[in-house]
Structure 1
Amino acid sequence: MNDLEARLGDIVRATPDLMHVLTTVRGLGLNDWRVFSGAVYQAVWNDLTGRPASYGIKDYDLGYFDPDTSWDVEDVVIKQVAAAFEPPFRDIVEVRNQARVAEWFSEKFGEVYPPLAHTDEALERFVAPAFAVGVRLEEDDEISVVAPFGLEDVFNLTIRPNPNRPLAKDWNRVIEKAKARWPELIVLTA
């Protein structure tokens, strides 16, 4: 584990709502699960900018992987996760089978999205390296981190497009929303 991963782990542990989600989900026994995106990188931004731990965090994206890509099977997991939480978490933990994303992504976002082999592969396709970070609370209480582009952008409050994909169609909207909550952010276009 490198220094930034250790620092991220410390920030996650100091974010009570995120730890509640991680602890609860760990107990569900989902395959290849990870909490990623906003709930993780925004916790870092809050720490760096002196904001409350859960400031600006709208939801908790929970990915897991099941090769059975039927909606009925995913719906069972969505209901299982919802039943594990009381409000408000019941309504803001958003569960998606990463094996199914390829089935609906193109229609929803207008981009090609080849099937994934595992949950962590999804992070490589996020719109910005700063967003491509995921964590899991392991059985031994370690916080495992996956960040295919590293954590430098997250800790440098920097958003830049993912160099391995086309610019997201809603890039400007994403940037406006982020800058409205964290005006300290640095946005790079390349």
Structure 2
Amino acid sequence: MNATAQIRQLESAVTDSPLLGPVLAAWGEIALPDVRLVAGAVAQTVWNQAHDFPPVFGISDIDLVYFDAADLSEEAEVRHSRRINALFDGASTRFDVKNEARVHLWYEAKFGYAIPPYRSAEAAIATFPTTATAVGIRPSKGGMDICAPFGFDDLMRLIVRPNKTQITAAIYRAKVTRWQALWPKLTVVGW
């Protein structure tokens, strides 16, 4: 499948999803700078389609990342998270809203090692734990604006490959153990 067909398949999967379609339809109300729908919810929607599973199967949250270097406060991030969760109050899944401009402020306390500040949402997406989940989307005039620093092959071919840019083997293994139990057609590349 060529890149154009992969993009069409991805766009169709997310816009047809009863979980993600309404998010994309209400994108203007999200109103955050450089915001993208990212990671697990996007990849798992594609995996559910490939497995003939219900579209919301196994999706534990919906990740939205944005980039606002002008306000690095935790309070602003929490306020945006509450607002967006209230906006989609009827959704079966909660939203995890993160300002990628402030991740370096808490990363070491959570994961045990420091990271440099990101320069954009796209730079953050390029460090996501796997190549298949390093995808960010948002509606645009021409259809969908997609950030996929590793391309679409792994996502569409159900291949989970570590992106060793930032994560540890333990983080990777914990993620793939859960995913393999839920999506048995995944091909997992070892660390």
Q: TM-score, normalised by structure 2?
A: 0.90
Amino acid aligned to 1:4: Q
Partner of 1:169: 170
> Percentage identity across aligned positions?
34
The alignment yields a C-alpha RMSD, in angstroms, of 1.8
Poorly superposed stretches of 4+, deviation over 4 Å? none
Partner of 1:84: 87
Amino acid aligned to 2:75: D
Separation of aligned partners in 2, 1:154 and 1:168: 20
Partner of 2:9: 7
Separation of aligned partners in 2, 1:165 and 1:156: 23
Q: Residue deviations 1:5-37, cap 9 Å, x none?
A: 122111111112101122234323211000101
Partner of 2:190: 189
Matched, 1:40 2:15: no
Pairing of 1:92-131 with structure 2 (within 5 A): 92-131=94-133
Which is further off, 18-27 or 36-45? 18-27
Separation of aligned partners in 2, 1:7 and 1:127: 23
Partner of 1:151: 152
Match of 2:72 among 58, 61, 69: 69
Question: Matched residue of 2:8: which SS?
Answer: helix
The answer to whether the 8 Å contact 1:36/1:134 transfers is yes
| Equivalent pairs, count | 188
Question: Matched residue of 2:82: which SS?
Answer: helix
| Structure 1 residues not aligned, in runs of 5+ | none
The answer to whether the 8 Å contact 2:137/2:147 transfers is yes
The answer to whether the 8 Å contact 1:26/1:137 transfers is no
The answer to whether the 8 Å contact 2:39/2:63 transfers is yes
Separation of aligned partners in 1, 2:176 and 2:157: 16
Task: Give the 3 Å change call, closer, same or farther, for CA 111–151 of structure 1 in structure 2.
Answer: farther
Separation of aligned partners in 2, 1:108 and 1:168: 16
Q: TM-score, normalised by structure 1?
A: 0.90
Separation of aligned partners in 2, 1:143 and 1:29: 17
The answer to whether the 8 Å contact 1:35/1:63 transfers is yes
Matched, 1:16 2:18: yes
Q: Residue deviations 1:34-84, cap 9 Å, x none?
A: 010111001111111111111111110011111110122222212221231
Which is further off, 37-46 or 154-163? 154-163
Task: Give the 3 Å change call, closer, same or farther, for CA 51–113 of structure 1 in structure 2.
Answer: same
Task: Give the 3 Å change call, closer, same or farther, for CA 55–141 of structure 1 in structure 2.
Answer: farther
The answer to whether the 8 Å contact 1:38/1:60 transfers is yes
| Structure 2 residues not aligned, in runs of 5+ | none
The answer to whether the 8 Å contact 2:81/2:95 transfers is no
